[in-house]
Copies of this chain bind each other. A is one copy, B any other.
Amino acid sequence: MTTAPTGEPRWLSDEEQSVWRAYLHATTLMEDHLDRQLQRDAGMPHIYYGLLVQLSQAPRRRKRMTELAKDAKITRSRLSHAVARLEKSGWVRREDCPSDKRGQNAVLTDDGYEMLRRSAPGHVDAVRQAMFDRLTPEQVRSLGEIMQVVAAGLQPEGTDADLPWLR
């Protein structure tokens, strides 16, 4: 899905420009906010924390590397580096996949789980303060719908696998 600039560009309206600026502004500040909070309280960036959360919710607290990368929306390369770092910190360890000798499982360690348990309340609090405590229930509902639409539109092709009628 390339962005072929056709004949005449359709510029954004004044309102759209303003909304777009607000979107960029808010998402930038939010990401900075959470990165700083987690760096301070858990010693890692937001994305790494997200990896641990994914693992904590997986059966037996482990996941194949590729699956973890897909769920966290990062490349396998990036995940390799990230897991190496988390392994050094002791929150995660690697384990050979029994059924596929190419495969690796990332496993959340007990220390990792404990760290997560300790820092979760502070993180939820940060998310709440930054977003949910400021929005009306109606706005929360609306935001959910909007984000669903946007995410669906940007879903990488691979996800077409979930749409059998396209195959």
Enumerate chain A interface residues (CB-CB to B < 8 A): 1, 3-6, 9-12, 15-16, 18-20, 22-33, 37, 41, 50, 73, 120-122, 124-132, 134-135, 139-151, 153-156
Copies in the complex: 2
A74 to chain B, nearest CB (A): 8
Q: Which residues of B have CB within 8 Å of A129?
A: 1, 3, 153
Assuming A29-B151, A139-B149, what are 6 further A-B pairs, CB within 8 angstroms? A10-B124, A23-B131, A24-B50, A130-B153, A134-B150, A139-B142
27 A–B pairs (Cβ distance < 8 Å), ordered by A: A5-B125, A9-B120, A11-B124, A12-B124, A12-B127, A19-B140, A20-B127, A20-B131, A22-B144, A22-B147, A22-B148, A23-B131, A24-B50, A25-B147, A25-B151, A26-B147, A26-B150, A26-B154, A27-B31, A27-B147, A29-B154, A30-B154, A33-B154, A129-B153, A130-B153, A139-B142, A143-B146
Q: Which residues of B have CB within 8 Å of A148?
A: 22, 26
CA distance A77 to B23 in the complex (A): 24
A136 to chain B, nearest CB (A): 9
Q: Are B130 and A23 in contact (CB under 8 A)?
A: no
Q: Are B124 and A18 in contact (CB under 8 A)?
A: no
Q: Which residues of B have CB within 8 Å of A130?
A: 150, 153-154
CA distance A145 to B146 in the complex (A): 13
